Structure 1
Amino acid sequence: MQDVDKTKDYSKCSEQTDIVFLKVHKAGSSTVSNILQRFGSSRKLNFVLPKKTSHEYGYNYIGEPGDSVYAENILPVPTGEQYNIMCNHVTYNSTAFRHIFPMNRFFYLSVIRTPLEHFLSVIRYYGYSKNSYIQNILSIRNGNPLSEYLKSPEDYEPIIPYFSYTNNRQSVDLGLPIDAIGNVSAIRAYVDIIRRDFDFVMLLEYFDESLIYLKRKLCWSYKDIIYHPKNSRWNNEKHTLSVQDLDRLRWWNSADYILYEELHGDFWEKIRNAGADFFDEVLHFKRITEMVRLYCANVDVTDDLEVKASRWEANFTITAVDCLMLGLDELQFLDKIYFENYGIVQTKPI
């Protein structure tokens, strides 16, 4: 065990409270949203909230599919106050975002994953939905359904491109115009905009590393970034992709591959500059996360969990209430925030 540095000044930096999080479908964004929702709720910060009827379709989306964030599709901030956190689904638009979230005040954050794992996650997750076009793909009986889909994906795609989760969805969420898909020069130019605008893009495959970097960058605590994975589903069907399938996927999702490969390099450059003890802290955080997971899994828990001080942070406590907040799904927490910020009761407030 590492010796505790008793001379460590745990309050030498100021935590960042103004965060724009651009959610990307099936890239761990609901898990990140829970982190931000807990952080903002515990500090009574102002969230950006969709101007929508209680639990209507797309209740956690700002605007309609393809819309960005505008004053008319979000609830106004209370008089004399300002927005602090945005973590709902919305399509990125640099001009619209800058107007409401000045880049000199807000930390711009997002998360992506490898296009292959994204594709497989979409199939696993939306394969449960009977109304999803993914069901049509999985219903193909002529050989491997994913192989058949990748031979001619246009034949199975939704009529409205913004309803597709398999056609460069990560890039589309991050604002790549639909008509730019397939145009390599336009894609690279747009990726440069994302690299310019976003302070940090997490990689789901390196989630703990991403969170420790974020903790250091935002001057947050372990308690702020502890997480329970959200929206993970798995069906029993296994689909093996051939080398030819992978080539076809790379062609079909060329924008997502370019996006990931460019931002992957940026990610590791930031990590290399994060400090000599960075990976030691990542390992320490993994241990804390497992401790909290086991503690919260105990339904009969009565005593608080005391996490000892380390050379990175002072000691802190996890309670049964913390476990409850960790366990809330995105929509449950959204109901809670509507009530806390505006007194709007969507369902029974928690």
Structure 2
Amino acid sequence: MLFRRRARMLRWLVCGRLGPVWMWKALLLFVAIAFAGQLLGVIFNKSSVQPAARSIFSSPDAQGPSLGSCQPHNHIMFLKTHKTASSTVLNMLYRFGEERNLRFALPLGYQLGYPLPFNAHRVKGYRGPRAVEFHIMGNHMRFNKPEVEKVMPADTFYFSIIRDPVSLAESSFAYYKEVAPAFRKAKGLGDFADDPRKYYDPRLRNNHYARNLLWFDFGMDHNANFSMALAQRGVAMVRRNFKLILVSEYFDQSMILLRHALCWPLDAVVSFSLNARQQKPSGIGGMSGSWVGKAAAVAGVSVRGGHSQAKTLPNLSLTEEQREKLRQWNALDWHLYKAFNQTFWEEIDRFGLSQMEQEVSLLRMRREDLARVCLRDGGKPVEAHRIRDKNIRPFQSGLVKILGYELQPGLDNTTRTACLRMIRPEIQYKDVLDAKQFLRAPAVQGQPVQQNVGRMVAAGGYFIRQDSSRTGERLVGGEAGGRTVDEGERDWDGSHLMRSNQTLMRGQDKGRLR
């Protein structure tokens, strides 16, 4: 009797107060289904998200073919010659060093005292011979080995790049038409080639761009009369001081040799063409090669907003006879080029032609893959004024347009950072590295100095240029008379224009403003 009473009470509690049994069964079934669905959803979600979140720069292809047990070189000196694809090479050095937090031997401005022979005190933060460990040096300089050795460690790897002097002359004429007096006087490059001495005066500033420019950049006398003995001594000097000389006409092969010499991963030498000039319309004289350095002159060109409008494009058309005359005019460069072009192919023979072809193919495929991921419009370079982000617009100057790139939208942070490094123009990249290495000095009345000098009106003041190639600080203009300096306005070599009432501090903080 007692047992029956307790059973009825239990049924009353379950069915009356807590609901019928079928409801509990349904609830338990629903919870089980929901849990299983959530578990399966997590599994499927992980399998679908993981590949998308993985950056292309972390894939096995980024390393490239095995290099064995060698260790990467971290002490590197690159002689950045003019009009030889050297800006693209410098971008690789900037990327490699930034990713590994290496210290750069940066200039006070944008060049290491060029066109004067390099002096160690041109390096920002230099405190005496090897007092500070610098890893990478690569901005424009006129080579001076004893001074370089004061800055760079004894185990530094030295290399440079050269180009056919005729192609180099075409690019140099297009860029420095309004800077080099010899070019400015000539109607076109062919006119100059027919009689260079009619236009060339070795005493005039910036005429070094018009003759034996490679010879000059390597620190030798570019106006010396050609002799075989002199040419051979110059080649011997370059061989003693540089472990590798690249050739811009064979850029991809050069990158493979450089990768093996430095023991670097493949992605470190994959690049997009930087500072390339827009090719002229077919109706105007042709020009070979699209590798160029920074622009030369602002005469006749508007640079506001990154949109340049050249009045007249330089005529670069040449006959075969005129090309031969340019080789004779640049005889020292021509001898240098022939000697190291031969050495270059001897290096490839030792490397193995079949292996070189395979690795060049991998390099090009990797470049295409990265362009597809990183760049808009299929990776095609675009005019600067079409680039929406002003921080990656290439500096515009001279009589030709410099092209740049736009990033693909929607990239994850890791991929976007790596892609941005590959397309960041040289001037902006140098500013980024400078800001990382050095704290900004306080300005007048405790206000910080901005990286890009803001919009200032100079009333009766002078403008000075940081790191002038002659004296370091010189007058650029006289009485300004209310002239306005736009944000980031620069002289022809990329140096900032600043007010002279900001005096330069000497001594340890040389080059800082106060």
Return the TM-score normalized by structure 2.
0.57
Corresponding position: 1:29 with 2:86: yes
* CA distance in structure 1 between the partners assigned to 2:77 and 2:173 by the alignment: 28
Query: Which is bigger in relative contact order (C-alpha 8 A, separation at least 6)?
Result: 1
Structure 1 counterpart of 2:232: 188
98 and 81 in structure 1: CA distance in 2 versus 1, 3 angstrom threshold = closer
Structure 1 position 83, deviation (Å): 0.8
2:204 and 2:111 map into 1 onto residues whose CA distance is 17
Aligned: 1:265 with 2:342: yes
Please say which of residues 150-159 and 28-37 is displaced more in the overlay. Answer: 150-159
Partner residue, 1:274: 351
| TM-aligned CA distance change 1:226 to 1:165, over 3 Å | same
Cross-structure match for 1:250: 327
- Distance (Å, rounded) in 1 between the aligned partners of 2:414 and 2:197: 49
List aligned pairs for 1:292-303, cutoff 5 A. 292-298=370-376, 299-302=407-410
Which residue of 101, 124, 127 maps to 2:174? Answer: 124
Q: What residue number does 2:415 align with? A: 319
- Does residue 92 (structure 1) correspond to residue 143 (structure 2)? The answer is yes
SS at match of 1:319: helix
Whether the 8 Å contact between 1:69 and 1:90 is mirrored in structure 2 is no
Query: 1:148 aligned to 179, 191, 201, which one?
Result: 191
The alpha-carbon deviation at position 148 of structure 1 amounts to 2.0
Residue segments in structure 1 that go unaligned for 5+ positions in a row: 53-58, 305-316
Q: Does the alignment pair 1:136 with 2:184?
A: yes
Distance 1:258 1:300, change over 3 A: closer
Match of 1:109 in 2: 159
Deviation readout 1:197-223 (Å, 9 max, x if unpaired)? 101111001111111111111111122
Pair 1:247–1:277, CA change in 2 (3 A): closer
Task: Give the CA deviation at 1:126.
Answer: 3.4
Structure 1 residues 109, 10: closer, same or farther in 2, change over 3 A?
A: closer
Does the Cα contact within 8 Å between 2:215 and 2:222 map onto a contact in 1? no
What secondary structure is seen at the aligned counterpart in 1 of 2:245? strand
Q: In the alignment, which residue of structure 1 is the partner of 2:123?
A: 74
Counterpart amino acid of 1:243? E
Q: C-alpha displacement at 1:131, in angstroms? A: 4.7
List per-residue Cα deviations over 1:10-46 (Å, max 9, x = no partner).
7722110110000111001111110001111111111
* Cα distance in structure 1, aligned partners of 2:368 and 2:277: 21
Report if aligned partners of 1:176, 1:187 keep a CA contact under 8 Å in 2: no
Cα deviation 1:163-185 (Å, max 9, x = unaligned): 43220101110111245353432
CA RMSD of aligned residues (A): 2.7
Amino acid at match of 1:76: G
Deviates more, 1:106-115 or 1:239-248: 239-248
Counterparts of residues 8-23 of structure 1 (less than 5 Å): 12-23=69-80
Amino acid at match of 2:345: W
One-letter identity of the residue aligned with 1:109 = F
* Corresponding position of 2:101: 44
Kindly provide the CA deviation profile for residues 289-347 of structure 1, in whole angstroms up to 9, marking residues without a partner as x: 1111122113444356xxxxxxxxxxxx9711111111111110110111111124762
Q: CA deviation at 1:69?
A: 3.3
Q: Which runs of 5+ in 2 are unaligned?
A: 1-60, 286-315, 377-406, 441-448, 453-514
The residue that corresponds to 2:451 in the other structure is 347
Q: How much identity, in percent, do the aligned residues show?
A: 28
Residues 46 and 77 of structure 1 are in contact (CA less than 8 Å); yes or no, is this contact kept in structure 2? Answer: no
Q: Is the 8 A contact 1:15 1:218 kept in 2?
A: yes
State the alpha-carbon separation in 2 of the partners of residues 132 and 233 from structure 1. Answer: 19
Q: How many residues align?
A: 315
| Aligned equivalent of 1:62 | 112
User: Contact conserved, 1:335 with 1:346, CA < 8 A, in 2?
Assistant: no
Partner residue in 1 for 2:248: 204
Which residue of 366, 372, 390 maps to 1:288? 366
Q: Is the CA contact (8 Å cut-off) linking 1:22 and 1:92 kept in structure 2?
A: yes
Q: CA 1:340/1:110 → structure 2, altered by over 3 Å: closer, same or farther? A: same
Q: Give the conservation status (yes or no) of the 8 Å contact 1:62–1:89.
A: yes
3-state SS of the aligned residue for 1:47? coil
Could you tell me how far 1:160 is from its partner in structure 2?
A: 3.1
- Determine the C-alpha separation between the residues in 2 that align with 1:181 and 1:230: 35
Paired with 2:218 and 2:438, the residues of 1 have a C-alpha distance of: 29
Over 3 Å counting, the alpha-carbon distance change for 1:225 and 1:176 in structure 2 is same
The residue type equivalent to 1:210 in the other structure is S
Residues 1:188 and 1:135: Cα distance change in structure 2 (over 3 Å): closer
Instruction: Please identify, of 79-88 and 246-255, the stretch whose mean Cα deviation from structure 2 is larger.
Output: 79-88
Amino acid in structure 1 at the alignment position of 2:416: A
| 8 Å Cα contact 2:373-2:408 kept in structure 1 | no
Q: Deviations over 1:106-163 (max 9, x none)?
A: 1101011111111112223334xx455476256x2xxxx3232122213323643654
SS in 1 for 2:209: coil
Instruction: Give 2:259's aligned residue.
Output: 215
Give structure 1 regions of 4+ aligned residues with deviation exceeding 6 angstroms: 8-11
Aligned to 1:313: none
**SS of equivalent residue, structure 1 residue 111:** strand
Contact kept, 8 Å, 2:180 with 2:206, in 1: the verdict is no
Amino acid at match of 1:136: R
Cα offset, 1:49, TM superposition: 1.5
Shift of 1:224: 1.0
Give the structure 2 partner of residue 314 of structure 1: none
Instruction: Give the direction of change, closer, same or farther, for the CA distance of 1:179–1:116 in structure 2 (3 Å limit).
Output: closer
Larger radius of gyration: 2
